[in-house]
Amino acid sequence: MKNLGTAILLISVAPLCGGQRGADGVAKLKLPPSKIALNAPLTTRERAVQILNRFTYGPRPGDVEAVMDGKWFDQQLNPGSIPDGPLEKRLGDYPTLRMRSDQLQDVFPDRGAIQLVADGRRPYPLDPLIAGVYEVEVAKLLAEREDKQHPHAELTDAEKAAAKKADQATASRVAGVLFSMPKGQRMAALNAMPVEDRIAFANNVSGDQKNTLMADFNPREREAVNAIQGGVGAQYRAYDELAQAHVLREVLSERQVQEVMTEFWFNHFNVFFNKDSDQWYTTSFERDVIRPNALGKFRDLLLATAESPAMMVYLDNWLSIGPNSLANGVDPKKPNSKPGNKGLNENYGREVMELHTLGVGGGYSQADVTHLSAILTGWGVDRPNMGGGFQFDPKRHEPGTKEWFGHTIDEQGRVEGKALGGNNPDGMKQGVAALTLLAAAPQTAHFISFLLAQRFVADEPPAALVDRMTKSYLDSDGDIKVVLTTLVTSPEFNSHRYFRNKVKTPEEFLASSFRAMATDPSNPGAVVGKLRELGEAPYQALPPTGYIMTADHWMNTGALVARLNFSDQLTHGKFGGQKFDSSRVLAFGLMADRGAGAVAQAPAVKGKVRALPVAASDPMGPDVALRVLEGTLIGGEVSVKTDEFIHSQMAAQPASNPTETLNLLTALLLGSPEFQVR
């Protein structure tokens, strides 16, 4: 089809938007009417589809049958017991995922760090490998400065082509020299070459030469080569790897509930990758703070975020100084000492109550915000511009007992005689006690339960369910697994009223497209780019609220057209070099169609599977293919209107091209209204 998006938009906008609009003018979700009573319970198969739609990034072929035994969700709540070898192998291509923040800052310096070295305000690193990275980056910076001071005439196209050809020749020559040497000596030899040769090599080596050389380098050496590509500054490499790994986890991980909850909590405790030194801290924030606590106790998660450099930088708490602290010039040993002009930063104190725990209308006042901010002074970061860790600095802490949120908390973290500060330094104990009280507050229990129900049940979740989840939270001391179990076993979650009623975010749409076809994203960077285009780039939500997860934010005409065009590109082999085989998708469906329990789970692989031919000239062929693909991609039949439109498009296809017919069927189903919901 010449323009799939325009064509199928006719069937997509009406069912999804239905002419309803909110106060902001954004189209509201309106699903096709169901003949089944809304309060009727789901069948066993529908329940499996519901769980997979809500707690994975979409079912793969064979997943529904595997979940129907009722054991899957409990297994998923213990992710450490689930092997995830294929994903871990893919993630091995991204060494930054395992680096400390200070290592990231060393290997992938930003412009600021490079300027410090170039200006002699910071020495070159002692590690020869990292020093080589800085040597190249400093040379690029100095050349950039020279060009600004003494501008050269713009090169002609012919001159640019000649320069490119010369750089490619240099890259090939350098590669030849490296190939002639033992593998263990190649990186040292590269670092000993002139800077210009190293830059030409990093930016222009390609094909088999690049693949072979990069494979022979160890992970640190590969990162050093990657770091010197492009312009001045290499910090973008940390983002590229983190974002691409994010995509791969969603599509390939067997630990789907952990990944879904990691994304949920990251969005809840949002940090912005590009905020100052959070470009070094976001990787460890997700790895060490969010993912390990995603299915634990909420208090542990809250405290872990509060003690993370990423959060302290993002919400500026590392800048907060107690007005009467030593850091502001007040010394108890010197009665005449006077405070300076430093003071509180209330960003974190406000957001930790409004967004992280109590919620808007949680019963706190502006005075509580100020007092909590004073309690949390001293919580900060050691050398944030060098990737240092969290530290509590007592000199910055506002001293004394605090009255806050109806409680009296002393420096030792005692609240009404009860010690809540744990094994921490005095002063810091006060903050730990306050956060512990927040985690245990009934308002927090209700707010967190509401957000979970909104994410996994309905944009406007049923109050009775939220109340039961709140009780489970309070009875279990904030055990996330217990609260999720209450949700999943509830009559609301298992009723037709809340079946296929949630619109997929761009992230969910893209991931579910790959998973529905059991397809491994061969170019995850292209998927990250598409997420940016659709408005949900990983780790790029600027406000502390994170990304909005309700339908009114994502369902509009432009978004639908973009999704439909992606479906067209993906199924016709025009998306980031991704290979697509519609007959393979059909084969999985035919295998699954033999009956529940008779199908093995389809792995996500790059290879092809031989499929039974479906001739487009056979009048039953396309209908059989459509039914099979509906079951594979959507898990059920499409609406009459969607079905009629798909048949009209199939009728326009040449009978002699069954492959194109299958590609078209797949694209139309991925772009259908039914695939946009979960």
Convert 164-192 into a string of H (helix), E (strand) and C (coil): HHHHHHHHHHHHHHHHCCCHHHHHHHHHH
Render pLDDT for 481-509 as a digit per residue (tens, 0 to 9).
999 999 999 999 999 999 999 999 999 99
Contacts 24+ apart (CB under 8 A), 162-169: 164/204, 167/200, 167/203, 167/204, 168/200, 168/204, 168/206
Instruction: Reply yes or no on whether the pLDDT at 399 is more than 90.
Output: yes
More confident residue, 610 or 207: 207
- The span from the CA of 410 to the CA of 421, in Å, is 10
**pLDDT score at 443:** 99
Per-residue pLDDT band at 651 (split at 50, 70, 90) = confident
Render pLDDT for 14-42 as a digit per residue (tens, 0 to 9).
445 433 433 333 344 444 555 567 888 99
Render pLDDT for 518-570 as a digit per residue (tens, 0 to 9).
999 999 999 999 999 999 999 999 999 999 999 988 888 888 889 989 999 99
**Torsion sign over Cα 363, 295, 288, 269:** negative
Per-residue pLDDT band at 602 (split at 50, 70, 90) = very low
More confident residue, 2 or 203: 203
628: CB partners within 8 A, 6+ apart = 586, 589, 590, 593
Render pLDDT for 307-352 as a digit per residue (tens, 0 to 9).
999 999 999 999 999 999 999 999 888 888 888 889 999 999 999 9
- The span from the CA of 498 to the CA of 36, in Å, is 12
Q: Which value, in Å, is the radius of gyration of the alpha carbons in the chain?
A: 28
**pLDDT score at 677:** 93
* Cα dihedral 260, 448, 288, 514 in deg (nearest 10): 10
366: CB partners within 8 A, 6+ apart = none
Is residue 323 packed enough to be buried (19+ CB in 10 Å), middle (13-18) or exposed (0-12)? middle
Instruction: Reply yes or no on whether the pLDDT at 134 is more than 80.
Output: yes
Comparing CA positions, the residue from 90, 132, 87 lying closest to residue 109 is 132
- The span from the CA of 471 to the CA of 491, in Å, is 16
Q: How far is CA 651 from the centre of its chain?
A: 40
**pLDDT score at 392:** 98
Q: How far is CA 72 from the centre of its chain?
A: 24
Helix, strand, or coil (residue 461): coil
Can you read off the two tokens belonging to residue 605?
């692989």
Phi, psi (degrees; rounded to nearest 5) at 76: -65, -25
- For 31-67, give the DSSP string: PPP-SS-TTSBPPHHHHHHHHHHHHSSSPPTTHHHHH
Render pLDDT for 60-78 as a digit per residue (tens, 0 to 9).
998 999 999 999 999 999 9
Q: Which helix (H) or strand (E) holds 293?
A: helix 291-293
**pLDDT score at 26:** 37
Per-residue pLDDT band at 82 (split at 50, 70, 90) = very high
Comparing CA positions, the residue from 79, 34, 40, 83 lying closest to residue 56 is 79
Residue 629 · residue 665 · CB < 8 Å: yes
More confident residue, 208 or 259: 259
Instruction: Reply yes or no on whether the pLDDT at 416 is more than 70.
Output: yes
**Torsion sign over Cα 321, 381, 116, 109:** negative
Instruction: Reply yes or no on whether the pLDDT at 153 is more than 80.
Output: yes
- The span from the CA of 97 to the CA of 267, in Å, is 19
Q: Tell the residue number behind the tokens 């998927």, with chain if given.
A: 527
Buried-state track 65-90, b at ≥16 Cβ within 10 A, e below 16 = bbbbeeebbeebbebeeeebebbeeb
Query: Count of H helices and E strands in the chain?
Result: 33, 6
Residue 308 · residue 285 · CB < 8 Å: yes
- The span from the CA of 394 to the CA of 425, in Å, is 8
Residue 379 · residue 317 · CB < 8 Å: yes
Per-residue pLDDT band at 639 (split at 50, 70, 90) = confident
**pLDDT score at 108:** 85
Per-residue pLDDT band at 374 (split at 50, 70, 90) = very high
Residue 592 · residue 635 · CB < 8 Å: no
Beta pairing, strands 390-392 & 414-415: unpaired
Comparing CA positions, the residue from 282, 244, 250 lying closest to residue 263 is 250
What is the overall mean pLDDT for the chain?
Answer: 88
**pLDDT score at 656:** 64
**pLDDT score at 7:** 53
Highest-scoring range by mean pLDDT, 102-111, 470-479, 639-648: 470-479
Q: Which amino acid is at 531?
A: L
Comparing CA positions, the residue from 474, 481, 414, 472 lying closest to residue 440 is 474
Q: Which amino acid is at 532?
A: R
Buried-state track 169-206, b at ≥16 Cβ within 10 A, e below 16 = ebbbebbeebeeeeeeebbeebbebebebbbbbbebbe
- The span from the CA of 134 to the CA of 483, in Å, is 49
Instruction: Reply yes or no on whether the pLDDT at 599 is more than 50.
Output: no
Instruction: Reply yes or no on whether the pLDDT at 603 is more than 60.
Output: no
Phi, psi (degrees; rounded to nearest 5) at 381: -135, 135
**pLDDT score at 27:** 41
The predicted model scores a pTM of 0.87
Residue 630 · residue 668 · CB < 8 Å: no
- The span from the CA of 310 to the CA of 230, in Å, is 27
Sheet holding 418-419, edge to edge: 402-404, 407-409, 414-415, 418-419
Percentage, residues of the chain above pLDDT 90: 65
Is residue 640 packed enough to be buried (19+ CB in 10 Å), middle (13-18) or exposed (0-12)? exposed
- The span from the CA of 88 to the CA of 253, in Å, is 9
* Three-state SS sequence of 245-287: HHHHHHHHCCCHHHHHHHHHHHHHCCCCCCCCCHHHHHHHHHH
